Amino acid sequence: MNEHDERGTAMTGVDPSRLDDQQLMKELETIHRTRHETLLHGSNDALSTHNERMARLEGEYLRRNPRRTVAAGRTREGARDRGTGESATPALD
Protein backbone atom coordinates (compact mmCIF):
# COMPACT_ATOMS: atom_id res chain seq x y z
CA MET A 1 0.00 0.00 0.00
CA ASN A 2 1.49 3.35 -0.98
CA GLU A 3 0.33 6.08 1.34
CA HIS A 4 2.00 9.37 2.16
CA ASP A 5 2.50 11.04 5.49
CA GLU A 6 2.30 14.78 6.12
CA ARG A 7 5.93 15.33 5.06
CA GLY A 8 5.25 13.91 1.61
CA THR A 9 7.66 10.98 1.91
CA ALA A 10 6.54 7.49 0.94
CA MET A 11 5.29 5.37 3.82
CA THR A 12 5.59 1.62 3.80
CA GLY A 13 3.00 -0.66 5.30
CA VAL A 14 -0.44 -0.01 6.64
CA ASP A 15 -0.85 3.00 8.92
CA PRO A 16 -0.44 1.51 12.43
CA SER A 17 -3.62 3.24 13.64
CA ARG A 18 -5.59 1.12 11.15
CA LEU A 19 -4.28 -2.19 12.53
CA ASP A 20 -6.22 -4.11 15.14
CA ASP A 21 -4.36 -5.10 18.31
CA GLN A 22 -3.40 -8.55 17.01
CA GLN A 23 -2.11 -7.16 13.72
CA LEU A 24 -0.14 -4.47 15.54
CA MET A 25 1.55 -7.06 17.76
CA LYS A 26 2.41 -9.20 14.72
CA GLU A 27 3.95 -6.18 12.96
CA LEU A 28 5.95 -5.30 16.08
CA GLU A 29 7.22 -8.87 16.46
CA THR A 30 8.29 -8.93 12.81
CA ILE A 31 10.07 -5.58 12.86
CA HIS A 32 11.92 -6.39 16.07
CA ARG A 33 12.94 -9.79 14.67
CA THR A 34 14.39 -8.18 11.51
CA ARG A 35 16.05 -5.25 13.27
CA HIS A 36 19.51 -6.72 13.80
CA GLU A 37 19.83 -7.96 10.23
CA THR A 38 18.74 -4.57 8.87
CA LEU A 39 21.23 -2.76 11.08
CA LEU A 40 24.11 -5.00 10.09
CA HIS A 41 23.40 -5.52 6.41
CA GLY A 42 20.73 -3.12 5.18
CA SER A 43 21.40 -0.08 3.03
CA ASN A 44 21.13 3.35 4.61
CA ASP A 45 17.71 3.73 2.95
CA ALA A 46 16.57 0.37 4.32
CA LEU A 47 17.72 1.29 7.82
CA SER A 48 16.02 4.67 7.63
CA THR A 49 12.76 3.07 6.47
CA HIS A 50 13.05 0.46 9.22
CA ASN A 51 13.62 3.17 11.85
CA GLU A 52 10.59 5.14 10.71
CA ARG A 53 8.31 2.11 10.58
CA MET A 54 9.46 0.88 13.98
CA ALA A 55 8.89 4.30 15.54
CA ARG A 56 5.37 4.48 14.09
CA LEU A 57 4.47 0.96 15.27
CA GLU A 58 5.94 1.47 18.74
CA GLY A 59 4.29 4.86 19.05
CA GLU A 60 0.91 3.33 18.25
CA TYR A 61 1.48 0.54 20.78
CA LEU A 62 2.34 3.09 23.47
CA ARG A 63 -0.69 5.23 22.55
CA ARG A 64 -2.96 2.22 23.02
CA ASN A 65 -1.23 0.98 26.18
CA PRO A 66 -0.28 4.03 28.24
CA ARG A 67 -0.38 2.06 31.50
CA ARG A 68 1.41 -1.06 30.32
CA THR A 69 3.23 -3.08 32.96
CA VAL A 70 6.79 -1.90 33.45
CA ALA A 71 9.23 -4.40 34.93
CA ALA A 72 11.08 -2.88 37.88
CA GLY A 73 14.41 -4.08 36.51
CA ARG A 74 13.79 -2.10 33.28
CA THR A 75 13.86 1.29 35.04
CA ARG A 76 16.90 3.34 36.02
CA GLU A 77 16.18 2.73 39.68
CA GLY A 78 15.77 -0.99 39.09
CA ALA A 79 19.03 -1.16 37.16
CA ARG A 80 20.82 0.63 40.00
CA ASP A 81 19.29 -1.78 42.51
CA ARG A 82 20.55 -4.76 40.48
CA GLY A 83 24.04 -3.35 40.87
CA THR A 84 23.69 -3.21 44.65
CA GLY A 85 21.78 -6.48 45.04
CA GLU A 86 18.59 -4.79 46.33
CA SER A 87 15.17 -5.61 44.90
CA ALA A 88 13.26 -2.85 43.13
CA THR A 89 9.60 -1.93 43.55
CA PRO A 90 7.16 -1.89 40.58
CA ALA A 91 7.40 1.24 38.42
CA LEU A 92 3.63 1.79 38.04
CA ASP A 93 1.03 2.07 40.80
Q: Across-strand partners of 11? A: 3
What is the model's pLDDT at position 7? 43
CA distance linking residue 58 with residue 60, whole number of Å: 5
| pLDDT tens for each residue of 52-70 | 999 999 999 999 999 999 9
Q: Is 85 helix (H, G, I), strand (E, B) or coil?
A: coil
- pLDDT at residue 92 is higher than 90: no
| pLDDT tens for each residue of 4-51 | 444 445 567 999 999 999 999 999 999 999 999 999 999 999 999 999
